[in-house]
């Protein structure tokens, strides 16, 4: 009767085995001498023997390994592709990265690090039939979002953040070949409606586009003052994209009536509106009975302009009409002006404590 037999003993890298019998009942492993300073050490059970389980021949344990101290042999992931350099040995703390072959999805970490005694940590990943995580999209997400791998036939749904429109397919399906189909969508920023309003007596300055965050500016023509907001922004209100302010008004800048002067007049007419840029000219009244004429002191013409707030103001004070040799003295609070024969001026001031 023939006894239970095991498969041939598993081979090991950088080593070999010997057996004292032809049926390989007991095998003992040893390491190759190595090259230079790379001396191999045997890690694991030196000898394994053939035994049985459920009438099937199996080896008593895994074969040992022949390693160089503080080195790691290349890790292997079935149906995986090692992206790092292809070398016979890796140094301590070196990192190796993997990706799965097409049609397979990765479970576990994609990178591992070489540790002492030829150990890779964390545990090597696995590549199973299916799809990897679906593509991420800017300003959007997919659901479910917590899974790392998907079986053929499973779907994911895409949606965009508020203020963005989905362009493309809203759902992707994992194909039997391990790819997502169709292509992932994109999230395009929403735009406000075209700004159609006009600004009488002014200009509307448009941006390059009307996308979320765009700004439309308003500028009045010279002689007009802006009443309202100087800009309107494209903003998100709930789920709608709207302009946040209406068109302002460009109001005409109007100056008050020019001041009247004693012994003189100006060219303004009664009930006349003095708009921005309008000029009035002053002249003095004649004095035919005295034989002398008034002299105009100051600028004869003033112009309607505006201050920093857009209020209408005159470009300067009105002039004065005075007789030759006549002086107009300033008003002094709490004092008086005394004029002597030689026109010497004395100023008296009283201060109350």
Give the model's confidence band at 342: pLDDT under 50 very low, under 70 low, under 90 confident, else very high: very low
Structure tokens at 8: 């041939």
pLDDT surpasses 60 at 333? no
Give the model's confidence band at 297: pLDDT under 50 very low, under 70 low, under 90 confident, else very high: very high
Domains 140-189 and 202-252 share a fold: yes
DSSP state of 278: -
The predicted pLDDT at position 336 comes to: 52
Tens-digit pLDDT profile for residues 164-191: 999 999 999 998 888 899 999 999 999 9
Structure tokens at 53: 């389980």
CATH number of 140-189: 2.10.70.10
**Per-domain residue ranges for the chain?**
15-67, 71-129, 140-189, 202-252
Looking at domain 71-129, its CATH class is mainly beta
Tens-digit pLDDT profile for residues 41-78: 888 899 999 998 888 889 999 999 888 778 888 899 99
Which superfamily does CATH assign the domain made up of 15-67 to?
Answer: Complement Module, domain 1 (2.10.70.10)
Residue 64 CA, distance from chain mean position: 55
DSSP code string of 195-228: -----TTEEEE--S--BTT-EEEEEEPTTEEEES
pLDDT surpasses 60 at 340? no
Give the model's confidence band at 249: pLDDT under 50 very low, under 70 low, under 90 confident, else very high: very high
Q: Output b/e per residue, 235-251; b: 16+ Cβ within 10 A.
A: bbeeeebebeeebbbbe
Read off the pLDDT of each residue in 273-293 and give the average, rounded to a whole number.
86
Kindly report the backbone phi and psi dihedral angles of residue 289, in degrees, each rounded to the nearest multiple of 5, phi listed first: -75, -25
Looking at domain 202-252, its CATH class is mainly beta
Q: Which pTM value belongs to this model? A: 0.49
Q: How far is CA 252 from CA 115, 198, 233, 314, in A?
A: 82, 17, 26, 15
The predicted pLDDT at position 286 comes to: 84
Report the distance separating Cα 112 and Cα 126, nearest Å: 12
CA-atom Rg of the chain in angstroms: 49
């Amino acid at each position: 009767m023939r006894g239970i037999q095991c498969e041939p003993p598993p081979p090991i890298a950088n080593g070999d085995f010997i057996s004292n019998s032809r049926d390989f009942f007991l095998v003992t492993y040893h390491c190759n001498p190595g090259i230079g300073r790379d001396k191999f050490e045997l890690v694991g059970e030196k000898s394994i023997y053939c035994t049985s389980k459920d009438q099937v021949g199996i080896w008593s344990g895994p074969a040992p390994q022949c390693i160089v101290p503080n080195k790691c042999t290349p890790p292997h992931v079935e149906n995986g592709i090692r992206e790092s350099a292809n070398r016979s040995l890796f140094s301590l703390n070196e990192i190796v990265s993997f990706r799965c072959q097409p049609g397979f999805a990765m479970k576990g970490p994609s990178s591992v690090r070489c540790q002492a005694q030829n150990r890779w940590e964390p545990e090597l990943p696995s590549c199973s039939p299916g799809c990897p995580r679906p593509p991420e999209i800017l300003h959007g997400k997919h659901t479910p979002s917590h899974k790392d791998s998907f079986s053929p036939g499973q779907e994911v749904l895409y949606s965009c953040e508020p203020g963005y429109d989905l362009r493309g397919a809203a759902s992707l399906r994992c194909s039997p070949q391990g790819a997502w189909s169709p292509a992932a969508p994109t999230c395009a920023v929403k735009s406000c409606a075209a700004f159609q309003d006009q600004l009488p007596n002014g200009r509307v300055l448009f941006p390059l586009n009307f996308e979320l965050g765009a700004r439309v500016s308003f500028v009045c023509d010279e002689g007009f003052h802006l009443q309202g907001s100087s800009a309107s922004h494209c903003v998100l209100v709930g789920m709608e994209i709207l302009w946040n302010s209406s068109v302002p008004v460009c109001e005409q800048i109007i100056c008050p009536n020019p001041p009247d002067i004693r012994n003189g007049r100006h060219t303004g007419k009664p009930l006349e509106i003095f708009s921005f840029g309008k000029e009035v000219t002053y002249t003095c009244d004649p004095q035919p009975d005295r034989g002398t004429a008034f002299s105009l002191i100051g600028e004869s013409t003033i112009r309607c302009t505006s201050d920093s707030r857009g209020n209408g103001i005159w470009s300067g004070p009105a002039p004065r009409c005075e007789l030759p040799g006549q002086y107009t003295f300033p008003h002094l609070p709490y004092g008086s002006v005394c004029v002597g024969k030689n026109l010497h001026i004395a100023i008296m001031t009283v201060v109350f404590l």
